[in-house]
Amino acid sequence: MNRSAIHLNRTHPAHCLVSRGLSTAGVRRRARAAASLRRVTLTTSLALLAALAACGGGTPDASGATSPGPTSAPVPPVTPTPEPTPAPVSEVGKVILYLATSQSGSTYDPYSGLTIETSGLSVLRVVPELRRVAVVAHDSSASYANNTLAPYTVDDRLFYRSGSPAPEIPGIQRWSEADPMSTRDGFPNGQLLQDGAIRRGCSAVVGDRYYFEGNATTDVFRRTYYGDFRVATLGNAQAATTQLLPRGDRDACRGNLHAAGGRLYDAEFDGSTGLLQLHRRSLDTGRIVDTVSIALTDSALWGPCGSSLHCNYKFAFDDGVAYFARLRTADQRLQVWRYRFGGPAAVERVHDTTLPGFTLSYMDSDDGQVLLADGAGMQALVVDTSSGSASLYTTAFRFFDPQILVVRP
C-alpha cells in the first residue's frame, strides 16, 4: 500500500450523522413545542442536548437559539513515512566473472588533418546471478601499440595486469591490485616491471610474490630475450626481479602455471601417450618438487593437444584441488574432472554435458566453482563441482582471459 495515498478523515458516529439530519430550524420548533405543550420530559431534553453537543451542534439558549459549540483544533497533516530503501543484495559467496575485451575506433583531427586510430581495452565485472555488469578497468592506446589489459584472480584477490610485449626488445608489464568488490572504473598505476612480456599461461601470484616466465624471442640481430623463470615482490616499486631458472631449464614453465592456497602449481598433458601430470613447484627455487601422474586410456578420442593454446585439455587449481576439462570435437562432449591432493589416488568426474558450437579456450576455478569459456563464441559455463550443476551465460561481446572469483564470507 502506498503510504502517501493514506489520509486521516475526521468522522462522526452514526447517531451524530442522524442528528445532523435535523436542521437548526427543526431544533427550534421542537424546543418551542416542548415549552408550550409541556409534553417533553426533562430526560428527553437532556438527551437531545447531549446529542447535539456530541455532534458539535452547540447548546440552545433561553430563547431557543443555538450558540456555537466548542471549536475542534485543526488536525495537522500526517507526513507519509517513506518506504525504507532496500539493502543491496550482497555479492559475498556469489560467482563474479571478470572478462577482458577490446574495441577500436578512429578520430579525425581537424588541426593536423590526420585520422588518429585508437583502441580501447576494458575489463568487465559480471555477477550473473544478480544481473550486474560494470566496467572496472579501462585503458586506451594507439592501435599500433601492442598493449594488454587483463584480470587475474587468486585467493579472494583481484589484480589487473597490463603492458607492452614489445617483441623486438624486452617489454614492460604493470601489475596492480584492486578491490574485488568495487564496481568503479579505475586502473591504479601499480608496479612496473621492466623484465619483458610474460609467456601466456606462465604467471601466478602467491602472497606478495609474482612468478612468471617470459617469451623466448629473437630479434634481427639474433639476440634472444626472455625465456627465464623469474620472481618479483609486488607492492615494492623498487624491487627488481630475480632469476630462478634459466632459459631452457628442465623445469621450465609447462604453460599452466597457477596459484591457490599459498601454493604454486603447473600442469601438462602429452596427447601422444595420454599422460597427464600435475606439478607442485617450490616457492623458493621455482623447481618442480612433486608430481602426480594420471594415465588416460581414452585420450585419443578427445582430440590433439599440440600446445597450451591449442589443446582440448585445460587445467585449473583450487585450494588442495586440481581440475582438468576436456572437449571431444566429434560430438562436442565436455567433461570436468577433479583430483584432490592428499586424498585417494584417483580422479572423479564432476560434470559431463554436450555443448554444440562450444570451444574450450579458457578455464579457471575458485571455491569449487569452475569456469569454462569460449571467448570467441561469447559463452561462459560455470560448473558448481559440489552439485555437478552448471549455468551457461552468453555475452554480447567477445572476451579473453576470463577469471572467476567467489569471495568467501
Minimum mean pLDDT among 36-50, 129-143, 223-237, 368-382: which range? 36-50
pLDDT band at 408 (very low <50, low <70, confident <90, very high): confident
Asked whether 199 and 214 are in contact (CB, 8 A), the reply is: yes
Asked whether 140 and 134 are in contact (CB, 8 A), the reply is: no
Same domain, 204 and 309: yes
Longest Cα–Cα distance of the chain, Å, equals 136
Judged against a pLDDT cut of 50, whether residue 259 lies above it is answered with yes
What whole-number distance in Å separates Cα of residue 369 and Cα of residue 350?
11
The grid coordinates of residue 303 equal 582430440
Same domain, 195 and 329: yes
Higher confidence at residue 55 or residue 243?
A: 243
Q: Of 50, 67, 84, which marks where a domain is finished?
A: 67
Mean pLDDT of the chain: 77
Judged against a pLDDT cut of 70, whether residue 48 lies above it is answered with no
Pairing label, strands 66-67, 95-109:
unpaired
**Percentage of the residues of the chain whose pLDDT score is greater than 90:** 44
All residues at 6 or more sequence positions from 240 whose CB lies less than 8 Å from its CB, including other chains: 232
pLDDT band at 165 (very low <50, low <70, confident <90, very high): low
Among positive and negative, which fits the CA dihedral 37, 41, 42, 47? negative
Q: Of 67, 82, 104, which marks where a domain is finished?
A: 67
Judged against a pLDDT cut of 60, whether residue 9 lies above it is answered with no
Higher confidence at residue 31 or residue 317?
A: 317
Same domain, 49 and 133: no
Same domain, 276 and 155: yes
Same domain, 123 and 187: yes
Query: Is 302 among the domain residues?
Result: yes
Same domain, 102 and 29: no
Query: Is 42 among the domain residues?
Result: yes
Assign 270 to helix, strand or coil. Answer: strand
pLDDT band at 80 (very low <50, low <70, confident <90, very high): confident
**Percentage of the residues of the chain whose pLDDT score is greater than 70:** 67
Query: Is 80 among the domain residues?
Result: no
**pLDDT tens digit sequence for 103-146:** 776 666 565 566 665 568 889 999 999 999 999 998 876 555 56
What whole-number distance in Å separates Cα of residue 404 and Cα of residue 389?
16
Judged against a pLDDT cut of 70, whether residue 269 lies above it is answered with yes
Query: Is 261 among the domain residues?
Result: yes
Minimum mean pLDDT among 10-19, 106-115, 176-185, 266-275: which range? 10-19
* Radius of gyration from C-alpha coordinates of the chain: 39
DSSP E strands, 47-166: 59-60, 66-67, 95-109, 114-127, 132-142, 148-154, 157-164
Query: Is 289 among the domain residues?
Result: yes
CATH code, 115:
2.120.10.30
In order, the DSSP letters of 168-186 are SS--EEEEEEE-TT--S--
Query: Is 365 among the domain residues?
Result: yes
Same domain, 203 and 328: yes
* Alpha helical stretches, state H, 193-256: none
Same domain, 38 and 161: no
Query: Is 321 among the domain residues?
Result: yes
Can you name the residues that pair with 318 across neighbouring β-strands? 321
Same domain, 105 and 210: yes
Exposure class string for 49-81: b at 16+ Cβ within 10 A, else e: eebbeebebbebeeeeeeeeeeeeeeeeeeeee
Which range marks the domain in which residue 34 is found? Answer: 3-67
What whole-number distance in Å separates Cα of residue 395 and Cα of residue 397?
5
Asked whether 18 and 50 are in contact (CB, 8 A), the reply is: no
Same domain, 276 and 384: yes
Asked whether 12 and 4 are in contact (CB, 8 A), the reply is: no
Query: Is 82 among the domain residues?
Result: no
Same domain, 246 and 331: yes
Q: What is the pLDDT of residue 17?
A: 32
The number of domains in the chain is 2
Question: Nearest-CA neighbor of 296 among 320, 315, 277?
Answer: 277
Same domain, 128 and 177: yes
